[in-house]
Structure 1
């Protein structure tokens, strides 16, 4: 996993950050553990994953008003670009033992999927369309009004 662009955290409400997952390794393989609240800092109410993405595919292209998420490269790799309206940063996720926390009021774009990637996403809330910003200009307008 590679963080680029700036060392200043992105996310004015709750900063984005890499989280090392609890790991257990032996001759049988590896086990990565995520526990609601303990690992993520939020209750997990929804889990989904992106897979079978084609080369050149981009996902995300939105922000959330309140939702918190943990992104994990369960298999393969992809890049998550985050933007809080003031700062941007890109994270290359390629290790199933590390997750990327993305909090509220952060625009996210997911790109550069490897052919075999599985992007696992753990979310703090059930799906709610009213929580989404799908228009970047509207997102910027609201985020820049905040102190």
Structure 2
């Protein structure tokens, strides 16, 4: 499993820090951003996610606090801690994801390549494994 983390542009000075990114061909985010959402106020011990996408690409950025992302490509799992607002984690299609271990006050920002489409979701892990098997024939 290849994990892609991207360090965004950051400018620091005496008044604070600024992180920025650009999307489109040849930019930080290769896809056009069509949807943005964020996850916050996650109760202690709760997990989020539990799904994969057929087409959607995403960047996950923990803009405040920290959280852990479990990625599963069907044969290997990896846990990645996000705790830097200037670092994004790419999650491509066909990757199961779960988010957990949210610190108090954590905010996880998600940049998505597509508009919301329920048909793009795989919400059952066994169906995810079947989808990968069928896709890789």
TM-score of the two chains, using structure 2 as the length reference: 0.94
The reply to whether residue 32 of structure 1 matches residue 14 of structure 2 is: no
Q: 1:81 aligns with which of 70, 74, 86?
A: 70
Q: 2:41 aligns with which of 52, 55, 62?
A: 52
Structure 2 segments unaligned to the other structure (5+ residues)? none
The reply to whether residue 119 of structure 1 matches residue 114 of structure 2 is: no
Aligned-partner Cα distance in 2 for 1:22–1:144: 38
* Residue deviations 1:89-147 (CA, integer Å, cap 9, x gap): 11000000100000000000000000110000000001000000001101101112315
Structure 1 segments unaligned to the other structure (5+ residues)? 1-7, 10-15
Name the residue aligned to 2:122: 133
Q: When the two structures are aligned, how many residues end up with a matched partner?
A: 134
* Secondary structure of 2:97's aligned partner: strand
Of the structure 1 ranges 136-145 and 117-126, higher mean CA displacement relative to structure 2 is found in 136-145
Q: CA RMSD in A?
A: 0.9
* Residue deviations 1:24-52 (CA, integer Å, cap 9, x gap): 11011111112112112111000000011
Moved over 6 A (4+): none
